[in-house]
Structure 1
Amino acid sequence: MTKLFLPFVILLQLIAFPLTAANQPDKPRLVVFIVIDGLQSEHVMTIWNDLNKGGFKRLYTQGAVCNHAYYPILSTGMAADYASLVTGSTPFYHGIVGNTFYNKATNDTQPCLEDNNYNGIGTSDALSLQPLLASTCTDELKMNTGGKSKVFAIGIHSAETMMLAGHAGDGAVWINNTTPNLATSNYFVAGLPHWADQANMDHWVEDGIKTEWQPLYNISTYFFPAKHPNSTHGFDYTNNSSSMTENIANYKESPFVNTLVTNLALKAMTEEHLGQDDYPDFLGLEYTVQVAGDPSHELASAEKEDMYLRLDNNLADLINQIDSYVGVNHTVIILTGTQGEPHQQQTLQNYNIPSGQFVPVRSMALLNLYLMAIYGQHQWVLGCHDKNIYLDHAAIEQKRISLNEIEQRCANFMLDLQGIQTALTATQIMAANSNGNDEASRMKNSFNKHRSGDVVFTLMPGWVEADNQGHILPIDNDKSSYTPLLFFGDGILPQTINSQSITDLAPTLSWLLQTQAPNANIGLPIMLKRKDEPSESWNHSK
């Protein structure tokens, strides 16, 4: 968004929030913010007839539904998605450009929330939310209530869970990558909550890793075939690697990790007495429908279908317990997903759809040879990360080379390579319009002057990044990323919402909570239709 347009949006928010707050029902006592990694509306519709009434169906039929909420940013990893969800902003402002970013000072990559001023608890990872440069909707809630609102987040991955909790959150709990236990950071004053510590003592994570995965129902009832069929059960998976790190990685993309998150959520809700007073509380949850060994968001296997069906049961259990403990009339449940690649490479090839693999290491070697032919012997290209090319500014300045000139030469060179769709210099990106949903706008929104490269490129449809061995890198290339966005409870009436930017989610939550929007917010609140009086209790029967 341009600098001229941002103050206009802020002015609209300052006008709209006080006027609408006076006419709103009471604040919800509890917000449950659910993000499902890999969630797609089309997947839910495909298996709709097999879902029970209390999970996805309850949210879709009794809530406000936007089937096509779009991400106005390039797909560079889930951390950037989560940061955009909770800030109502984009990497241009909030600074989280990916799961990792290239550190220009050390010429190396680092985790997006790495901070050696803090220590991990149950993990060796040193993390904080200081790299997230904007406030979140939970930060604004904390400030609005003088710290009296309680904010917790439970998830699968560290950065995503921490961003759900926000800078001022009371606690964030996730699964460590190398040992079978729950972990957190001493950035959160409370440390590891007692209920999470008890779960560690009771070996919840370890027991989940040992659980054998077979179909929930008879395999003949599944719409899709098993990716790795088993004649006895349909499919059968066990985590029996000699590497605990590998076992944990597989567990994090299995249905049992969602069961763990659900059980922890119910523990947190009762142990922390969430939603039991007049100060709204917040519980952020990270779920997944991603299956180990498949980085795409494609629904084409019984395994992923089973992930959805089991998660559907988890959601039903969660909603029922919330209804019993707090009441859905006093709770806002928000559900959305992340962006990602819709199809596997093999699927595209099977249907004769153009596709390919782009190998950054080889291309950067060619680019550096090209630059040496012009500017002399030197390693002009320091690195390439998440489709960002980083040049040696010190050498460029010492040789008195025009930065704009060498950037443009790099961009022009990249455009001649097979598989490249777009290549823009940092100067061109900074001058671009950020208000549209075209590729140039998404590049602008995804760019951060402190962490992005000198040249940014995108790939043609169907192309992916790969290493020298042909292994696909976990960076998506989706040209138009949509995900569902649902609001349920607290008097919100069933309704269909037109396509919205995911940056509208945070200001909508702030509107519901009657707080200020996050300080880098660029979205506008969705004016949801709501009842003035609480609705009757929902019938739990299936």
Structure 2
Amino acid sequence: MSPVSFKRRLLGASISAAICAALIQPYAHAATTVKEIPPTKPKLVVVLVVDGLPQEQIQRYRDQFGEGGFKRLLTQGAWYSDAHQAHGVTLTAVGHSAVLTGAYPYQHGIIGNNWIDPTTLANVYCTEDSRYTYLGEDTKAGDGTSPANLKVNTVGDELRYATGKQSKVITVSGKDRGAILLAGKTGTAYMMMKKSGNFASSTYYMQSYPAWREQYVAGKPQDKYYGQRWNLLLDEKAYANDANDSVIIPGAPKANDRLPMIYASSSGKPDPEYYESLFTGPFVDEMTLEFAKAAVDGEKLGANPAGVPDILGVSLSSHDYVNHRWGPESRMSHDHLQRLDRMLAKFFDYLDKKVGLDNSLVLLTADHGFPNTPEFARDHQLDAARIDGKELVNALNLHLQNKFGIDKLVKKLSAPTVLLDYAKLETKGLKREDLENAVAQFVLKYPGIADAYTRTQLESGNVPNNRIAKLMQRGWNRQVSGDVMIVLKPYWYFGSDDHGTSHGSPYRYDTNVPLMIMGKPWIKPGNYGHYAEVVDIAPTLAHLLRVRSPAGTEGRVLVEALK
């Protein structure tokens, strides 16, 4: 896998053009003619992102859904069964950034939830900004308070620009990154605080809260779940095909490591321990949707006095926490999805009464999917395990010291990339490509690693012409990513725990996510087998809202689903 050498000083416009050409072709997007849109625009666009929801779970459990939630979207909307987060680093912040920018990480700059700054070696959190603090809440160093690291704009930003900021863009999430990266540069984000259980914003967005928010938090709705149990929603036999708890939860049963679970704390009253525990279960999503309703009422979304469209973004965080802990094969994940289905049904009924679903465009997608736990995968005769990143770095540095006679040439692992110390190498008169190739050749023999691409390859666009390589190229940003990008084998991931699972790969279990759009005046219902990407959402919404697409958009308008 030796990369083609090139002179770094010649990198410029021609190479950038070559990279861009390569990045947009992992799949063929068929040429289409944009259809005329109806004379009216939606009064309200609702963008729902279910954190960590693989498409496979929608298909597997759809017969158990009620009539008003997911099934409503499936039957009354357009459902793309082959929709993908089409980049190779499928993480929460990366996926949320794609939804309303229409851009890939190599452009939007959000390459992970966290990454290592290549120059300072400091840890960078995707939405951190020390210039701003949470409003009325404790703010720690590295907390997410602004979209400064997002390098492009969103559909909401374009709508606000086109309407002289008369349109409102409000986003809500359990996670700061879930709200902030949907809100873009000019929207307003609210996120749940794990210490207090309140939904809060930051001084980036406002200096004081609107009255509706103050009234909402005054009631302390987060405390009503104290002492409540999470029991199975359906009859026990409905979960017969789910993984056995003993496979995915090693060892003897412990308190609250399987259903039923009780939400409380050691202090005997609501406190940070209790509020944080709520995230792994159904109640944070319920609170998020309730706060979203309060925002619709308080901000008069969908009934804008200026007569312009509004956008409500809602990121539902808990399915991600549940899948991380128990895997998508668990009955906990199964039950959580059924509960979320019923929550969505109530939320859609509310929207219908408040704004009118015929006046609203409702879209649902996910930021990434999920693999099974390694324990479950091995139980099904698959090669699966976890890679300890510290052990990999130590082994790499030992190998490179033996080869080059220089200690600690690997500075950090910023998964899935390795940061190299080029300065040490150059003092010996050695070439960067030699170090990159030595790292790539070593990791290719390391257990659980399938492939590796070097900075030289990625900067020149000289990666193999296959799906995985192109997705990884899209996930690499020249300014903030590391120097050798590692691709793990299917069902392997970086981690050192002995249970649970994680995402972040270019494989279909991580990329294939739901994409559903419902809106009677604009959308033609049906199950669409067309290949689609999450980056197609932004240009499709821009088309229907009659505004300019965001600057980094590379998706297409989903014309086959338009009336």
TM-score of the pair, normalised by structure 2: 0.85
Structure 1 match to 2:259: 235
- Matched residue SS, 1:25: coil
- Residue aligning to 2:80: 66
Higher alpha-carbon deviation: 194-203 or 60-69? 194-203
Q: Decide which of 280, 296, 301 is 1:253's aligned counterpart.
A: 280
Q: How many residues align?
A: 520
Equivalent in the alignment of 2:203: 186
Alignment correspondent of 2:161:
143
| Greater CA drift, 235-244 or 322-331 | 235-244
Q: 1:128 aligns with which of 125, 146, 155?
A: 146
Aligned residue in 2 for 1:212: 229
**1:3 counterpart = 2:35:** no
The aligned counterpart of 2:313 is 284
Of residues 67, 76, 80, the one that matches 2:94 is: 80
Taking the aligned partners of 1:129 and 1:95, their CA distance within structure 2 comes to 11
Contact 1:91 1:448 survives alignment (8 Å)? yes
Distance 1:437 1:116, change over 3 A: farther
CA distance in 1, matches of 2:350, 2:336: 21
| CA-atom RMSD in angstroms | 2.9
Say if 2:548 is the partner of 1:516: yes
1:106-125 correspondence to structure 2 within 5 Å: 106-121=120-135, 122-124=137-139, 125=143
| Amino acid aligned to 2:114 | T
Compared CA separation, residues 76 and 217, structure 1 to 2 (3 A): closer
Residue by residue over 1:522-542, the C-alpha shift from the partner in whole angstroms, topping out at 9 and shown as x without a partner, is 1111115445xxxxxxxxxxx
Kept in 2, the 8 Å contact 1:176–1:182? The answer is yes
- Among 528, 538, 546, the alignment partner of 1:506 is 538
Amino acid at match of 2:17: K
Structure 1 window deviating more from structure 2 (122-131 vs 141-150): it is 122-131
How far 1:8 moved relative to its partner?
A: 13
* Matched residue, 1:389: 418
State the alpha-carbon separation in 1 of the partners of residues 197 and 556 from structure 2.
Answer: 41
Whichever residue aligns with residue 204 of structure 1, its letter is P
Q: Which residue of 504, 516, 524 maps to 1:493?
A: 524
What secondary structure does 2:262 align onto?
A: coil
TM-score normalized by the length of structure 1: 0.88
Contact 2:109 2:477 in 1 (8 A): yes
Check conservation: 2:179, 2:314, Cα contact below 8 A: yes
Task: Describe the shift of the 1:502–1:25 C-alpha distance in structure 2 as closer, same or farther (beyond 3 A).
Answer: same
Find the residue that maps to 1:128 and give its secondary structure: coil
Report Cα offsets for 1:197-241 as digits up to 9, x if no partner. Answer: 3332211223345432122344344445674899xxx93211334
- The residue aligned with 1:173 is 190
Distance across 2 between alignment mates of 1:511 and 1:328: 19
Q: Contact (CA 8 Å) 2:19, 2:461: kept in 1 or not? A: no
How far the C-alpha of 1:314 sits from its partner, in A, is: 1.2
Structure 1 residue 51: deviation in Å? 1.7
Range moving further from structure 2, 146-155 or 269-278:
269-278
How far the C-alpha of 1:136 sits from its partner, in A, is 0.8
Tell me which of 418, 432, 435 is aligned to 1:406.
435
Q: How far apart in 1 are the matches of 2:499 and 2:479?
A: 30
Q: Return closer, same or farther for 1:250/1:31 CA change in 2, 3 Å cut-off.
A: same
Pick closer, same or farther for the CA change 1:349–1:429 going to 2, 3 Å: same
Deviation at 1:332, TM superposition (A): 0.3
The answer to whether the 8 A contact 1:68-1:482 is kept is yes
* Mapped contact 2:323–2:501 kept (Cα < 8 A): no
With 296-305 and 178-187 compared, the bigger mean Cα shift is at 296-305
Deviation, 1:449, is: 0.9
Distance 1:245 1:427 in 2: 47
SS at match of 2:446: coil
**Counterparts in 2 of 1:75 and 1:123: CA distance versus 1, 3 Å:** farther
In 2, are the aligned partners of 1:64 and 1:496 still within 8 Å (CA)?
Answer: yes
Asked if the contact 2:52–2:367 (Cα under 8 Å) also holds between the matched residues in 1, the reply is yes
1:344 aligns with 2:373: yes
Deviations along 1:237-257, whole A, 9 cap, x unmatched?
113344955543431121111
Q: Deviations over 1:84-131 (max 9, x none)?
A: 112101110000000001112331322111111111222412521111
Q: Structure 1: which amino acid aligns with 2:43?
A: R
Q: Give me the whole-angstrom Cα distance separating, in 1, the residues matched to 2:495 and 2:132.
A: 34
Partner of 1:479: 507
After superposition, the Cα gap between the structure-2 partners of 1:293 and 1:279, relative to the gap in structure 1 and judged at 3 Å, is: closer
Please tell me the residue identity of whatever aligns with 1:510.
Answer: A
Work out whether 1:271 is the aligned partner of 2:334.
no
Cα offset, 1:156, TM superposition: 1.0
Q: Matched residues in 1 for 2:347 and 2:466: separation?
A: 35
Q: Map of 1:303-382 to 2, 5 A cutoff?
A: 303-382=332-411
1:431 aligns with 2:460: yes
Name the stretch that deviates more: 433-442 or 491-500: 433-442
User: Equivalents in 1 of 2:349, 2:92: separation in Å?
Assistant: 29
Question: What is the CA-CA distance between 1:344 and the residue it aligns to?
Answer: 1.1
Change in Cα spacing, 1:341 to 1:20, as seen in structure 2 (3 Å) is closer
- Structure 1 window deviating more from structure 2 (192-201 vs 352-361): it is 192-201
Pairing 1:422–2:451 present: yes
Asked if the contact 1:66/1:500 (under 8 Å) is kept, the reply is yes
Matches within 5 A, 1:11-90: 23-90=37-104
Counterpart of 2:109, as a letter, is: G
Q: Distance in 2 between matches of 1:399 and 1:358?
A: 32
Change (3 A) 1:104 1:2: closer
Match of 1:455 among 478, 484, 506: 484
- Secondary structure, counterpart of 1:152 in structure 2: strand
Question: Does 2:173 match 1:155?
Answer: yes
Which whole-Å deviations, capped at 9, do the CAs of 1:266-290 have from their partners, x for residues lacking one? 1111111111132100000011462
Q: Distance in 1 between matches of 2:540 and 2:388?
A: 41
Listed one character per residue, the Cα deviations across residues 61-82 of structure 1 (whole Å, up to 9, x for unaligned) are 0111101211221134210001
Contact in 2 for aligned 1:224/1:305 (Cα 8 Å): no
Q: Is the 8 A contact 1:155 1:174 kept in 2?
A: yes
Identity %: 28
Matched to 2:165, the amino acid is G
SS at match of 1:523: coil
| CA deviation after TM superposition for structure 1 residue 265, in Å | 1.3
- The alpha-carbon distance between structure 1 residues 242 and 450, as it changes in their structure 2 partners (threshold 3 A), is farther
Q: Deviations over 1:446-474 (max 9, x none)?
A: 0001111011111111212123x656774
> Which one-letter code corresponds to 2:405 in the other structure?
G
When residues 143 and 203 of structure 1 are mapped into structure 2, their CA distance, relative to the original with a 3 A threshold, is same
TM-aligned CA distance change 1:283 to 1:47, over 3 Å: same
Query: Which ranges of structure 2 fall in alignment gaps of 5 or more residues?
Result: 1-14, 25-30, 247-252
Distance of 1:168 and 1:209 partners within structure 2: 36
Q: Is the 8 A contact 2:457 2:463 kept in 1?
A: no
- Using the TM superposition, give the Cα deviation of residue 401 of structure 1 relative to its aligned residue in structure 2, in angstroms: 2.7
Q: Matched residues in 1 for 2:19 and 2:289: separation? A: 41
